[in-house]
Chain A
Amino acid sequence: MAQVVAVLGLLWIVYVFGYYLFAPASESTPLVSPLLRLLGLR
């Protein structure tokens, strides 16, 4: 059971971070956009 939670959890974590950092629809950009723009990633 813990293993299943861990795998699902991993997917969830990666999804949240991916959306937060890179999803165009996200408005969370103030945190990372200056750096990401600097790095040419956004």
Chain B
Amino acid sequence: MLLLNNIFDLLLLTALWLLAAANGLLLVRRLAVGLTALERLLFGAAVGLGGISLGVLLLGSLHLLNPTALLALIGLLLLLSLLTNSLVATLRDMWAVIGRLPALFSQPVTAGLAAAILLAAAATLVGAMAPPTDWDPLIYHLAFPKSYLRAGATLPILFDHRGMLPQAGEMLFTLALAFGRQTLTGLLHWSMGLASAAAVFALCRRHLRAGLRFSLLATAIFYTTPLVLMQSITANIDLNLVFYDTMAFFAFCLWARPLAGSAAEGVSRLDGGLVLVGVLAGLAYGCKQTAIFSGAILALLIGWQVLVVERRGGGQAGRAVAGFVAVAGLLAVAWPLRAWLASGNPVWPWLYNVLGGAYWAAIDASLQNNGFSVLYGMRYPNGTAFDAQGIAAGQNLLNSYLVWPWNATMYPARFNSVAKWAYGLGPLYLALLPLGGLLGLVRRVNLRSPLALVGLYAGLYLTAWLLFLAHMSRFFISALPELAILVAAAVYALMGRAWVEGEQGSSVKKQRSGLPTVVGLVVAGLVGLAVGLGAADEAFYVRAALPHALGQQTEAEYISTGSYAGPYAAIQWANANLPATAKVLMGWGAHAYYLDRDYLYAEHVPGYVGRYANRPASDLRQRLRDLGISHIVIANPQEVARRGVFPSNFLADDGLYTTRIYPAAGVEGTWRIYMLK
């Protein structure tokens, strides 16, 4: 039965992607012509899923977030795709893509690469099906959707600094959770990784006119990057961003570089191609605010294309950029509007000093637990410094900014706050990108070639990352598709191989093969090792989740065997014993997802509950009563002191203000539950 449930979730996932692709196709085929079946599926699904997310948000804003209304939304989309015949067209496209898969196994190298991708996909599928136990999904990616469903509306969440972030990915999670499909949430993020890999493949085929082997190599390098694999098994939203960023860049490539003379493939300059770039960039912002960087880069590239490459003058360039910004803004505006209406700041709580916003004060803006704090040496309320992280972990300028690729590869834990994300880049990028760049210089690669455009995009993205987000390597995950393509190009350059299919429009023609064969063999061997190890290691990592994926373990059985057993037991105890009307204050890393009660977080927005460490305890009791709090869940009690919310005598086994009700007196536990007196 459990196995059937998992299979059903996979079917739902497939159906959702097809429905999205069919409805997205209605717009995509007006904006782009001459696309291949795979491209139609990818562009269609990106647009369609973005539309579904906005539809769920609209229902949530209208207080109609319930299974009936969501079913009506899906039914409407189904009807539309049937009436317009786009569902049939999409099924035909899917059939065409499936029909081409056997060709991947027609030669040993492509078969090996395809096998590595398949192994990675299968391994991550097993991991993605496991019940969530990671920080971000439990604290907000999945916890917020559950709150929305409980309220029947996407009510503002101002007790968490992530509460008003763009939540397109979370809207899809909301859709899944509305029907009790928890496994589907993990699968949704997993599928975004797979779709991103397919986007890398399609980008290579179209933009670089690369052969099957090169395209598969770039895809395998991207997909077996440890960071991508680890994201694939977690219900985060980072891979949504990767998918949308990649598709937006892909759309830009199609718009900027019409493949004249390729009539054989039926390609022509895209009508409305720029609109498609804008649509996808706008939807990317819905996934994560860091899409502002890729959007800005695309705006730059669009201006450059019109002004410098096509020499159509400043006016035309300005109009093109303005058109792009307008379309992207239209698709993204729901999120900043939502934040502004709730808090007075469209990017709440960021830029507090400029834009202001609810529940923050100048002092709080410097205290929030976010990357900027980490980068710029900020402190906890009690004066303890945040752990230095990412770029900030370097001892000096040289260590920090000049050798960061080395550090991000060899010491990935420094670039991530959660141990799991210490899974970093893998060795291929560091080993091959400098060489690829050097060879490019030596051979004077055409700076206007399609490959150079990929390099320019990746370079600009990394520059933005270094300037603003360099405390976490997972924030440049969106540049990995382009970087993987550059690594593949470096492999080919080092092996003296040409990777362009045919001769027309090629940027790297067949090269003299003057390099020693041994270099080629070593490079090929190490690339195979890295790709194979990445996939194999992922399979090894997720082995504990296999019984659950096969339906031999329930959620509780799976979690009880892992490190999340204690917290899960505490929350299940709360679900069984707290009154249905209880409202819980969650403190210091206590995740709300598994809790079936109303809640708010104590520490993520300093001004929401307030800080009472140096005030009378009775003031805090009054504040909690005003907030309707009846119980307090504390995870990691050792953290309590440095957050400054509670007076020292407030939390007690049997004190003046609280009584500990879990675990029983005398029993040690990292998660504790208190009842407010």
- Contact surface of A with B, Cβ cutoff 8 Å: 1-3, 5-7, 9-10, 12-14, 16-17, 19-21, 23, 25-28, 30-32, 34-35, 38
Report the Cα distance A16→B424, complex, angstroms.
Answer: 14
Report the Cα distance A9→B523, complex, angstroms.
Answer: 10
Partner of A27, one of B422, B494, B529: B422
CB distance from A1 to the nearest CB of B (A): 6
B contact residues around A34 at 8 Å (CB): 537, 540-541
Report the Cα distance A23→B427, complex, angstroms.
Answer: 13
14 additional A-B pairs beyond A7-B516, A13-B522, beta carbons within 8 Å, are A1-B442, A2-B439, A5-B438, A13-B432, A14-B526, A19-B410, A20-B430, A23-B410, A27-B422, A30-B422, A31-B423, A31-B426, A34-B537, A35-B533
Q: Assuming A17-B526, A27-B410, A35-B533, is B519 touching A9 (CB within 8 A)?
A: yes
What are 26 A-to-B residue pairs whose CB atoms are below 8 Å? A5-B438, A5-B442, A6-B494, A6-B515, A9-B438, A9-B519, A10-B519, A12-B431, A13-B432, A13-B522, A13-B526, A16-B431, A17-B431, A17-B530, A20-B410, A23-B410, A27-B410, A28-B409, A28-B412, A30-B422, A30-B423, A31-B226, A31-B537, A32-B537, A34-B540, A35-B533
Report the Cα distance A25→B651, complex, angstroms.
Answer: 42
Chain A proximity mask over B511-540: 1 for CB below 8 Å, otherwise 0: 000111011001100100110011011001
Asked if A26 and B410 make an inter-chain contact with CB atoms under 8 angstroms apart, the answer reads: yes
Asked if B438 and A35 make an inter-chain contact with CB atoms under 8 angstroms apart, the answer reads: no
Asked if A3 and B540 make an inter-chain contact with CB atoms under 8 angstroms apart, the answer reads: no
Q: Assuming A13-B435, A27-B422, A35-B540, is B533 touching A2 (CB within 8 A)?
A: no
A contact residues around B514 at 8 Å (CB): 2-3
Report the Cα distance A32→B535, complex, angstroms.
Answer: 11
Residue of A nearest to B430 (CB): A16
B contact residues around A30 at 8 Å (CB): 226, 412, 422-423
Asked if A27 and B411 make an inter-chain contact with CB atoms under 8 angstroms apart, the answer reads: yes
Report the Cα distance A10→B644, complex, angstroms.
Answer: 54
CB distance from B514 to the nearest CB of A (A): 6
A contact residues around B526 at 8 Å (CB): 13-14, 17
CB < 8 Å A-B pair total: 92
Report the Cα distance A5→B601, complex, angstroms.
Answer: 56
B contact residues around A1 at 8 Å (CB): 442
Chain A proximity mask over B417-439: 1 for CB below 8 Å, otherwise 0: 00000111011001110110011
Partner of B516, one of A3, A16, A27: A3
Residue of B nearest to A16 (CB): B431
CB distance from B301 to the nearest CB of A (A): 29
Report the Cα distance A34→B414, complex, angstroms.
Answer: 20
B533-555 with Cβ < 8 A to chain A: 533-534, 536-537, 540-541
Residue of B nearest to A9 (CB): B435
Report the Cα distance A37→B247, complex, angstroms.
Answer: 39
Report the Cα distance A16→B412, complex, angstroms.
Answer: 14
CB distance from A11 to the nearest CB of B (A): 10
Report the Cα distance A19→B427, complex, angstroms.
Answer: 9
Partner of A2, one of B442, B540, B541: B442
Report the Cα distance A21→B277, complex, angstroms.
Answer: 40
Q: Which 6 residue pairs of A and B lie closest in terms of their CB atoms, listed nearest first?
A: A16-B431, A20-B427, A9-B435, A13-B431, A27-B411, A6-B515
Q: Assuming A3-B514, A28-B411, A31-B226, is B435 touching A12 (CB within 8 A)?
A: yes
Asked if B523 and A13 make an inter-chain contact with CB atoms under 8 angstroms apart, the answer reads: yes
* B100 within 8 Å of A (CB atoms): no
